[in-house]
Amino acid sequence: MSNILVTGSKGQLGTELSAINSQFPHFKLFLTDKDALDITNFNAVENFIIKNKIKAIINCAAYTNVDKAEEEVEVANKINFEAVKNLAEITKKHALKLIHISTDYVFDGISEIPYKETATTNPQNQYGKSKALGEKALIAVNPKNTIIIRTSWLYAVSGHNFVKTILKLSKEQSEIKVVNDQIGSPTNAKDLAVVLLTVLPKIEHKNVEIYQYSNQGSCSWFQFAQEIVQQTNSNCTVLPTTSKEFNSKAYRPNFSLLNTEKIKNTFQIKIPTWQESLKECLKQLT
């Protein structure tokens, strides 16, 4: 049995990893959050690794409040950059495996085709910038058997997310406005959690490798909301609006669709469509 440290265990992805652990009995997950383990503290993490004979780390910990990151730049960088550098150095020192979760927001959103792993990063908001710095730190340290997995538009049964917000609003209001000029792909955190534990034993890389995972297909947030309303037979009307009208603090990329061919081909995995995965999540929520 391998001992795996999961950081950010109370977030959407960490919660899903905990939920599916029984399907992967050869892994013992050590589920930690910021109260149990401060990943910005090198010594604390190293001591935890040694004490619990950890063989791999899955880093789900992140500062993810996109709008708040515009003001809390230092805090976002501490978690999304400095802590990642710590994990990279510890991984290298103790010959561990590491999976680090990153985001589609490292891209600028001006592409017209899905972004490949090799595409130039050019984040347009502070959250994206902090995540890009984390990726660069990891690549610079370059521990063996380490991969970065970028994902997009994550949602789950747990936590605060778009799906749960739309479900709530569609019960309270007769119509809701949702932006129609941002294109990407929703990702069910449960699907990603299964992928993480499936690929972990197969990671054999000399250098840090980047992969991307999101559910198949693409949509705007407006179309995503429409599908939620439709699948739950709600009478609420979803109306399209623009990002400009929505007027959020942080800029969001207009197009952040990820090319997922590399992870499919390398690890021989099948990825369900976003509509299928949404259906599975809604079954548990409604």
> Which residues belong to the active site?
127
Q: Phi, psi (5° rounding) for residue 232? A: -100, 10
Identify the bridge partners of residue 178 per DSSP, sorted by sequence position.
Answer: 240
- The answer to whether the CB of 211 falls within 8 A of the CB of 149 is yes
| Residue 42, token pair as written in the block | 């090198």
Strand runs labelled E in the chain: 2-7, 27-31, 56-59, 97-103, 146-151, 154-155, 175-179, 183-184, 187-188, 209-213, 219-220, 237-241
* CA–CA distance, 97 with 205 (Å, rounded to integer): 10
* CA–CA distance, 79 with 76 (Å, rounded to integer): 5
